[in-house]
């Protein structure tokens, strides 16, 4: 079973989410609006993300929804 690890650093206002283990060799790509994508440097596979300037109960993220399974076909 996969584990999602979420770290919040209030003094930095930084929320980090990993859905795979952090790597010694990882790269970060800025997606915009304070969202960073963390990827394995060798494979380019996304392993996590960071939200900059995050504060609990902030309007930018009012809830987290987790859905299991395959996305519906369009």
pLDDT digits (tens, 9 = 90+) for 28-61: 999 998 999 999 999 999 999 999 998 877 776 6
pTM recorded for the entire structure: 0.75
CB atoms within 10 A of CB 43: 9
For residue 74, the model assigns a pLDDT of 46
What are the residues whose beta carbons fall under 8 Å from the beta carbon of 74, sequence distance 6 or more?
none
């Amino acid at each position: 079973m996969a584990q999602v690890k979420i770290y919040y650093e209030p003094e930095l206002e930084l929320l980090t989410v990993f859905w795979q283990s952090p790597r010694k060799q990882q790269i970060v790509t800025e997606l915009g609006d304070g969202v960073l994508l963390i990827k394995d440097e060798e494979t380019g596979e996304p392993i996590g993300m960071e939200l900059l300037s995050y504060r609990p109960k902030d309007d930018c993220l009012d809830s987290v929804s987790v859905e299991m399974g395959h996305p519906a076909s369009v």
